[in-house]
């Protein structure tokens, strides 16, 4: 039995997740947006936002969640976060300063909104994408022969796609 | 008078919170299998954290922070039993046998 098969529907968990999810997402965004001038920040907020997807997966099944949230979205979130961080950092270098020298950015309150941009567009996106991606990778399961020498691994008929135990029979 | 009542209520609530957290910890350490442990962890811990948060709300008095504390209390009362339900259900679905007195 693979990890994807073990889902059983539970009315209690689904109802609780339905009630709690909007609050958790709001709370995660709240922490993220407070990064510059109050307790909170991109790491904590991004982790909470990532956990929203984990909760949905626990309540409604991992495979439906994986299909709903395409792998490209998760990868794009992480890559886009890195790009945003680099773009904000390099923008001040293009304007003749050091890396991440916010004062040179041509915006209102540059040092404050510069940090906010790094926190929200950069770090929160990277952290939430990494949490979601690692969860899906872990949920795909691994077998002991994944670490065996490569010539033994061929016999065990193993593909690189995530486990889709339930959906294969239905389609 | 009312202030003394408030402080007394805070002390009683904190004592209740400490008691239930202690019971929960003892249960998790001493009970034999996953079902009884999930039971004691959620039931006593919900009350422990609940009493402690109620004491915090009383200690804050009428403040915006009190609203946040009461919201936290509300969410702990919802999510903690659900987490225990999920753990016990997952254990049952994956075939964990409940502990019986005569078997081991």
**Can you give A5-68 as a three-state secondary structure string?**
HHCCCCHHHHHHHHHHHHHHHHHHHHHHHCCCCCCCCHHHHHHHHHHHHHHHHHHHCHHHHHHH
Q: How far apart are CA A61 and CA A21, in angstroms?
A: 15
Residues B47 and B16: beta-carbon distance below 8 Å: yes
Give chain B's mean pLDDT. 89
Tens-digit pLDDT profile for residues A82-91: 999 999 888 8
* Chain A residues touching B65 at Cβ < 8 A: none
A2 near B CB under 8 A: no
Burial of A17 (0-12, 13-18, 19+ CB in 10 A): buried
Q: What is the pLDDT of residue A4?
A: 46
Beta carbons of A8 and B85 less than 8 Å apart? no
Q: What is the pLDDT of residue A6?
A: 63
Q: What is the pLDDT of residue B45?
A: 83
Q: What is the pLDDT of residue A130?
A: 94
Asked if the ipTM is above 0.85, the reply is no
CA distance to partner chain B, nearest, from residue A59 (Å): 9
B78 near A CB under 8 A: yes
Tens-digit pLDDT profile for residues B59-103: 988 888 899 899 999 999 999 999 899 888 888 888 888 888 876
B94 near A CB under 8 A: yes
B82 near A CB under 8 A: yes
Q: What is the pLDDT of residue A10?
A: 83
- Closest Cβ–Cβ partner in B82, B86, B93 for A6: B93
More confident residue, A5 or B8: B8
**Other beta carbons within 10 Å of B63:** 10
Q: What is the pLDDT of residue A162?
A: 54
* Chain B residues touching A13 at Cβ < 8 A: 82, 85-86, 89
- Closest Cβ–Cβ partner in A8, A12, A16 for B93: A8
Q: What is the pLDDT of residue A3?
A: 46
Confidence band, pLDDT 50/70/90 cuts, at residue B2: confident
Coil vs helix vs strand at B66: helix
Beta carbons of B85 and A10 less than 8 Å apart? yes
Q: State which residues of chain A have pLDDT below 70.
A: 1-6, 35-37, 143-171
């Amino acid at each position: 039995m693979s990890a994807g098969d073990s889902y059983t529907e539970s009315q209690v968990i689904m109802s609780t997740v339905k009630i709690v999810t909007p609050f958790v997402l709001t709370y995660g965004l709240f922490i993220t947006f407070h990064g510059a001038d109050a307790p909170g920040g991109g790491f904590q907020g991004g982790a909470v936002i990532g956990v929203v997807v984990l909760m949905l997966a626990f309540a409604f099944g991992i495979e439906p969640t994986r299909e709903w949230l395409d792998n490209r979205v998760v990868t794009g979130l992480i890559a886009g976060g890195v790009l945003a961080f680099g773009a904000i950092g390099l923008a001040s270098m293009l304007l003749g300063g050091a890396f991440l020298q916010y004062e040179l950015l041509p915006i209102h309150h540059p040092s404050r909104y510069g940090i906010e941009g790094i926190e929200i567009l950069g770090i929160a996106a990277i952290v939430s994408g990494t949490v979601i991606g690692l969860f899906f990778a872990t949920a795909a399961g691994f077998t002991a022969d994944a670490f065996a020498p490569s010539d033994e691994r061929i016999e065990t008929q193993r593909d690189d796609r995530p486990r889709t135990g339930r959906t294969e029979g239905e389609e | 008078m009312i202030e003394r009542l408030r402080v007394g209520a805070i002390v009683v609530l904190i004592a209740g919170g400490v008691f239930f957290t202690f019971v929960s910890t003892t249960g998790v350490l001493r009970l034999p299998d996953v079902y009884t442990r999930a039971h004691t962890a959620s039931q006593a811990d919900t009350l422990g954290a609940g009493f402690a948060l109620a004491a915090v709300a009383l200690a804050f008095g009428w403040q915006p922070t009190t609203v946040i504390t009461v919201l936290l209390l509300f969410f702990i009362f919802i999510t903690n039993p659900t987490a225990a339900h999920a753990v016990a259900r997952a254990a049952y679905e994956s075939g964990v046998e409940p502990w019986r007195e005569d078997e081991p």
